Amino acid sequence: MPMFKRADADIHYEVHGSGFPVLLYAPGGLKSQMGMWGGVSPAYPKGFPWMDPRKALSDKFTVIAMDQRNAGRSVADVKPDHGWHTFAGDHFALMDHLGFDKFFVMGGCIGGSYCFEAIEHNAARIPAAVLQNPIGLWENRDTWNEAVKGYSETVRGRDPSISEETIQSFGRNMFGPDFVFSVTRDFVKACKTPLFLQPGTDKPHPAKTSEEIAALAPNIEVQKDWRGPTYLDEAIKRVRTFLERNTPKT
């Protein structure tokens, strides 16, 4: 079980395949963990009907999957000033540890916001990003309040010395802003990084948010129909083609 140790965190990760690196940010909100790519739920007892990039891309790319801090097997401290930048610190430190300078990012659900945060953190290291089912604030404030509540139960259940006030401060840093939470509309409007968008359609992943991203971003490709099993093969093909087209030549 590979673990990357930071001063305040132990990050669980896996590496699949070889080639230009792709860092994955799994679905699951604040419970984002690598198993969600191939996970099951009552609605999908045989697994989610969309691509598992660990399998679909690892013949061409080095695919790095991870559990976000305090999700899955990753354990970390929480401070009142922690937020999106804290996760980005984990992401870039992990890729430094693995020896990768430039890398693609691909995120499902909350992973779309991690993708934007990575680009904001250091766009020169991110040649392109795949946004699948991105989250956003649109008539769903209760969704994110519940996410923070669940995070508190997980973190404080393990370490009661982390106060509820600290968790609430963290929650405001994460979900206090609007739009996609991690960056502003002005940032997306000015973002030159090539983006590939597979839009969201439900309450946590509002169609309105994806529509705004598509309208604002100057360098974006959208695959409107992408969910499997009907569109699974086409979704994999288009993501692979997008990443191959944007792989640096040197």
Residue 42: predicted pLDDT? 65
Closest CA to 109 of 37, 170, 178, 161: 37
Amino acid 18: pLDDT:
97
Report which of 87, 103, 81, 92 is spatially closest to residue 21, judged by C-alpha positions: 103
Which parts of the chain have pLDDT scores under 50?
Answer: none
Compute φ and ψ for 169, nearest 5 degrees. -65, -45
Q: What is the pLDDT of residue 40?
A: 63
Q: What is the pLDDT of residue 41?
A: 63
Structural domains in the chain, sorted by start: 3-246 (3.40.50.1820)
| Segment 2-59, tens digit of pLDDT | 999 999 999 999 999 999 999 999 999 999 999 999 876 666 677 777 899 999 999 9
What pLDDT is stored for residue 197 in this prediction?
Answer: 98
From residue 24, alpha-carbon distances to 19, 33, 65, 111, 173 in Å are 15, 10, 5, 8, 22
* Tally of CB atoms within 10 A around 127: 17
What is residue 39's predicted lDDT score, i.e. its pLDDT? 76
